[in-house]
Structure 1
């Protein structure tokens, strides 16, 4: 079993950017809403193109043919229909390599002609206006290449990519916007997936020719108050998303080319909420999620304080619309990603991020679920030790334990399920026990944490045992489900597959719950352990079930003989074994 993958497992701790699908589940989750919105954008673009084509047909008909019923109308109606049929056949005709080359060469000629006329008549727009209109038409014609991704290598071989990207610096922003629209269609993920070879060749050519840096340079000339230019910025971000989705390793290249800096600046702008601000938050989340270098760069740019300031607005204000709620969730996702780096945790602590998250928990706004998720990331692991101590010092336990005792109503959880809420809360408490230790100089904080389980006639012990029963049942059901699946499929799952399935079905939370039970029994007041034993006896449970869960958890942290097992994992494994022996 690859223990590195298993020990890093944390189901659904961070909302991931939604993938575009032809069918999206009808639910209220953030992932589903984002997927629906992306699919809607794609369909809207297709409808817009169809509408433009229909308008062109109608204008040509009115210019060439009289209305039906007027003089000559009946005689020409058949001719008109024939012309329409021919036009539709032409549009639907599948391009071959010859047709692709003709389109590319026509584009190159018109681009060159426009460049020559602009150089020849720089002060006389009337002289180059016609060539500019022809170039714009050629860009529209180039969109037909998006229907034949198998021929993308021809685009690369004919050196068309540098010509397209060169037009991003064109004096006429309409041309630059047209190029962004073209590249967005060529890099559409659904289109690219139709041809692996075509996608690889085009992406390589775009990246090698500095597509990211050229788009950033184009942004300086685009005015987002103009709809067409705002659409151009939106298409540029879509290009980044498409390329990174198909080749994740270029996320670092995009950030280094200036996209990280531009996204930070764009999100800081105090302008009315708009679609591009939402999309900017999505792209930032994508660039940060799986690239450590980008997370480190973001922290070094001093932008964590800026991110906290943007989130601070939602401390006392709920988003006004669903799209703004998605923006808020994206910002929380960005913060969760950033906290994977130790240096960023220090910056988060210094920027009073813990205090902000604690206030959000108290205010009971829609930001509460996001704040809970951020705290889970900030306090986890040995790198969260300082944050754990500080969280107790700022009276965070007073805010956290009411959420532990009672899960908020659905309207107050902002789309988070009961299980997700309980997972975050239990994970935070487990992190506090792991990091508030004598060795970390947090004896007082640990004592305050243990004291919580003796308050109000041990009500928190009753609650942790209630969660033990709930998630034990879930784990048992998962075992039965796995056995049925193997029987139906007629095949055996590997130990790793079985373990991960069980984690997903409730074992993950149960491990934290039972770990907390061991901690409070071994380090807390004697009355705590008596209460635990009493409840186990009443419900037909046993100490063995608790020990077995934690023993399995410890066993999957690593192996001393495995050189890939971290020292931190081995120390935790040894500590867990000592707790089991005491219980």
Structure 2
């Protein structure tokens, strides 16, 4: 090829690659960067024929400034000390004051105070840095930060009050409080002095949970109460008296679909009732028993749809059990047809059956359960309870409850009815032990041997691990948990049936004892121990009468 040919030579023109083809090829990415993918399905063929350069998105100046500001804040948080905290609080106070002044000056012109409101919101966000340094809580309290902050819970703009709630939730986080307990105590004292629970309830009443931010504000408000009660159990009473109990009952009663806040309300209610007798009394006075029964009635014929809804149902059952410790609430439970609801739940065999058993056990127990025991027999409760006594359901049907717990509740209910019922109701119970060739007496003996064998194993373990440090009460409690409590109730029912029932019942009991190598002596020892530990509770007179009754049964046996 000569020089002329070389100069005139042109390389063969290849057609430009289609963008769709390029997407199929693997590209080498730069380390630390993600390749952006651009959708091309809507691009016309004529547009795809020419490759176009797509410029990366440009960060505008205001966005840049915001990013730099956030980075600067993060750097400042790392080194937050007393001086910088005081400067932050001073800035916070100025923003609060400025917003208040503009709101008073221009009440009908939101555009005049909107900028100050944004600045105030930003100042609240900056204060989250304090939660990372709980050692400085004392400084914040000394600078009168808490009264100013809590004052914003009643701010006209709920965005501001919700931001304050979020900050308080972070400041009172249980892990943070445990890091610096002395400083945390100062913070909690300051919050309680300003009646934080009352302010939270006032704010809760105006929040609209249809908006996600305000729904989060409700959740965080309840979290603050939970955090405070975990550190200071006495806050349970203060919170209830300052309106939280009434608000929770109103929230549970509201005809709204199940959500996380409804679940959280049931959890907080359970905490408020668990160890505070005054709250149980207050619940009864505000018709709380009826509201709880109405909420539980939803599950009498249908199971909870989710695990969270099941948890709420269990919390509500626990709340009813706690409330029944207060004696006047048992009468409210009776008048509110709580027994009929529990009886129906047992018959329907849904998930609510376990909770219904627990509630029935609480409602019928003790001297104060006498009226409920009589009513339960009258509403044909024996037809429900004795089939459950005869056969413990399979573990899948009593989900969440062991066979031992299940049997304990059933036996406790029957024992309570025998203790409390008189006349025809008592005769109907005793008659059950002669039905179908004494099948219920045989079941009673089966349970006696089952729990007697369990107790022997526990006694052998305690004997092997015996130490001088354990006193008699501790050992007795371990034996009760190991099966002694259920065994005592089984033997009590057995003695009642033998003493007051048909003569054939006692003959069947003695015959079964002889067949299986049992003795009357062991039953006497168990019941003497049971009688010996009665009479120390609050109902001392009633317990003393029961003790004498058991000793009389022993003489007859």
TM-score under structure 1 normalisation? 0.81
**Cα offset, 1:104, TM superposition:** 2.7
Partner of 1:35: none
Partner of 1:5: none
Does the C-alpha gap of structure 1 residues 88 and 105 become closer, same or farther in structure 2, counting only changes over 3 Å? closer
Task: Calculate the aligned-residue CA RMSD, in Å.
Answer: 2.4
**Cα offset, 1:127, TM superposition:** 3.1
Partner of 2:554: 580
Does the C-alpha gap of structure 1 residues 99 and 575 become closer, same or farther in structure 2, counting only changes over 3 Å? farther
Q: Secondary structure in 2 aligned to 1:411? A: coil
Query: Which range moves more in the overlay, 303-312 or 148-157?
Result: 148-157
**Cα offset, 1:422, TM superposition:** 0.7
**Cα offset, 1:558, TM superposition:** 3.6
- Whether 2:449 is the aligned partner of 1:469: answer yes
Partner of 2:369: 384
**Cα offset, 1:147, TM superposition:** 2.4
Separation of aligned partners in 1, 2:134 and 2:71: 25
Q: Which runs of 5+ in 2 are unaligned?
A: 1-32, 34-54, 59-67
Separation of aligned partners in 1, 2:469 and 2:508: 41
Does the C-alpha gap of structure 1 residues 553 and 305 become closer, same or farther in structure 2, counting only changes over 3 Å? same
Partner of 1:525: 502
Partner of 2:489: 512
Partner of 2:26: none
Does the C-alpha gap of structure 1 residues 94 and 351 become closer, same or farther in structure 2, counting only changes over 3 Å? same
Q: Which runs of 5+ in 1 are unaligned?
A: 1-57, 59-69, 74-82, 437-441
**Cα offset, 1:92, TM superposition:** 7.0
Q: Secondary structure in 2 aligned to 1:248? A: coil
| Structure whose alpha-carbon radius of gyration is higher | 2
Partner of 1:156: 141
Aligned residues: 495
Residues 184-195 of structure 1 aligned to structure 2 (within 5 Å) = 184-195=169-180
Separation of aligned partners in 1, 2:434 and 2:364: 23
**Cα offset, 1:84, TM superposition:** 12
Q: Secondary structure in 2 aligned to 1:273? A: coil
2:221 to 236, 245, 249: 236
Partner of 2:14: none
1:332 to 307, 310, 317: 317
**Cα offset, 1:94, TM superposition:** 5.7
Does the C-alpha gap of structure 1 residues 89 and 140 become closer, same or farther in structure 2, counting only changes over 3 Å? closer
Separation of aligned partners in 1, 2:217 and 2:373: 45
Partner of 1:566: 540
Listed one character per residue, the Cα deviations across residues 507-540 of structure 1 (whole Å, up to 9, x for unaligned) are 2211211211221122111111111112222222
**Cα offset, 1:484, TM superposition:** 3.6
Separation of aligned partners in 2, 1:268 and 1:456: 46
Separation of aligned partners in 2, 1:541 and 1:375: 32
- Whether 2:518 is the aligned partner of 1:541: answer yes
Does the C-alpha gap of structure 1 residues 485 and 116 become closer, same or farther in structure 2, counting only changes over 3 Å? farther
Partner of 2:36: none
Q: Secondary structure in 2 aligned to 1:493? A: coil
**Cα offset, 1:91, TM superposition:** 6.8
Does the C-alpha gap of structure 1 residues 565 and 397 become closer, same or farther in structure 2, counting only changes over 3 Å? closer
Using CA pairs below 8 Å that are at least 6 residues apart, which structure has the higher relative contact order?
1
Separation of aligned partners in 2, 1:216 and 1:426: 43
TM-score under structure 2 normalisation? 0.84
Listed one character per residue, the Cα deviations across residues 328-361 of structure 1 (whole Å, up to 9, x for unaligned) are 1111111111111111111111111111111111
Separation of aligned partners in 1, 2:458 and 2:140: 52
Separation of aligned partners in 2, 1:92 and 1:165: 23
